[in-house]
């Protein structure tokens, strides 16, 4: 499978590029400039220069799936959340339709359906994520929306809790999040679904296949 990873230079994205390569897939690692190419190649990815705040559409040509892991990043203002987290995601939704890419996996966030419940600083991020999720649901694509809890750099455990609603908040490692994305890509039972995921007790493949 040829997979475009938007946000490949982010922490979850780097894990995902490596995992895709190890699993025998072709990871097209979207980067903003050539200076990031060497790192992506070292992870097993094929660098593709494209800008979510410009026109990323050509990067989707010839792909079988898109995984959107990009984000404005901690400390960025509301404007960046709008141009990257919402508009960037929507541009790639449109690109998927243009280039016949059926599969689209979105990394969203817990609380995106109710942004006003978040702290003042989190609301612009949650609004952007929620609006991007809505656009994906309406796209007609074979989508899955994955909503991890607070991301940590702890070692991966390979075990998670996953459900449409977990009824609690918590954490999940960045590497386990990437492993969930990898499992989700080929899990047809997740098409058209939105689910939350946290550190837990169930092996990742089993948790994803049970959704």
Read off the tokens for 171.
Answer: 């954490």
pLDDT of residue 178: 98
* Tokens found for residue 142: 């074979």
Q: Which pLDDT does position 94 carry in this prediction?
A: 97
CA distance 208 to 77: 33
**pLDDT class of 21 with cuts at 50, 70, 90:** very high
Residue 74 confidence (pLDDT): 62
125 is known as an active-site residue:
yes
Statement: the pTM of the whole predicted model exceeds 0.85? yes
Q: Catalytic pick from 5, 60, 93, 125? A: 125
pLDDT grade, residue 115 (50/70/90)? confident
Residue 29, pLDDT above cutoff 90: yes
Contact (Cβ atoms closer than 8 angstroms) between residue 151 and residue 177: yes
Judge whether 171 and 151 are in contact, CB under 8 Å.
yes
- Report pLDDT for 163: 98
Compute φ and ψ for 37, nearest 5 degrees: -65, -40
Percent of the chain residues topping a pLDDT of 70: 98
Taking only the tens place, the pLDDT of each residue in 134-172 is 999 999 999 999 999 999 999 999 999 999 999 999 999
User: What's the whole-number average pLDDT of the chain?
Assistant: 94
210 CB-side CA count, 13 A: 12
In contact, 160 and 183? CB cutoff 8 Å:
no
Q: Which of 71-75, 160-164, 185-189 has the lowest mean pLDDT?
A: 71-75
Q: Which residue has the higher pLDDT, 61 or 72?
A: 61
Query: Could you tell me what percent of the chain has a pLDDT over 90?
Result: 84
Judged against a pLDDT cut of 90, whether residue 122 lies above it is answered with no
Beta bridge pairs of residue 28: 4, 46
Residue 72, pLDDT score: 72
Which tops the pLDDT comparison, 118 or 53?
A: 53
Domain ranges of the chain: 2-209
What φ, ψ does residue 100 adopt, rounded to 5°? Answer: 75, 30
User: Which CATH number is 2-209 given?
Assistant: 3.40.50.720
CA distances from 184 to 38, 145, 162 (A): 27, 10, 11
Residue of 71 and 109 predicted with greater confidence: 109
Structure tokens at 118: 């978040």
For position 73, what pLDDT does the model report?
A: 66
The predicted-structure confidence for 38-53, as pLDDT tens digits, reads as follows 999 999 999 999 999 9
């Amino acid at each position: 499978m040829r997979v475009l990873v938007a946000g490949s230079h982010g922490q979850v994205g780097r894990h995902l590029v490596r995992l895709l390569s190890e699993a025998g897939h072709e990871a097209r690692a979207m980067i903003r400039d050539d200076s990031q190419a060497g790192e992506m190649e070292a992870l097993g990815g094929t660098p593709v220069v494209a800008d979510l705040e410009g026109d990323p559409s050509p990067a989707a040509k010839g792909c079988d799936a898109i995984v959107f892991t990009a984000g404005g990043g901690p400390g960025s203002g509301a404007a960046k959340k709008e141009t990257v987290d919402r508009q960037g995601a929507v541009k790639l939704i449109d690109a998927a339709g243009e280039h016949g890419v059926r599969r689209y996996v979105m990394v969203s966030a817990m609380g995106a359906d109710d942004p006003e419940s978040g702290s003042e600083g989190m609301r612009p991020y949650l609004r952007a994520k929620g609006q991007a999720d809505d656009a994906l649901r309406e796209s007609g694509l074979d989508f899955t929306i994955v909503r991890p809890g607070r991301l940590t750099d702890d070692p991966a455990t390979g075990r998670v809790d996953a459900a449409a609603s977990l009824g609690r908040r918590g954490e999940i490692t960045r590497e386990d999040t990437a492993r969930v994305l990898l499992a989700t890509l080929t899990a047809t039972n997740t098409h058209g679904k939105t689910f939350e995921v946290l550190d837990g007790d169930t092996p990742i493949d089993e948790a994803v296949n049970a959704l």
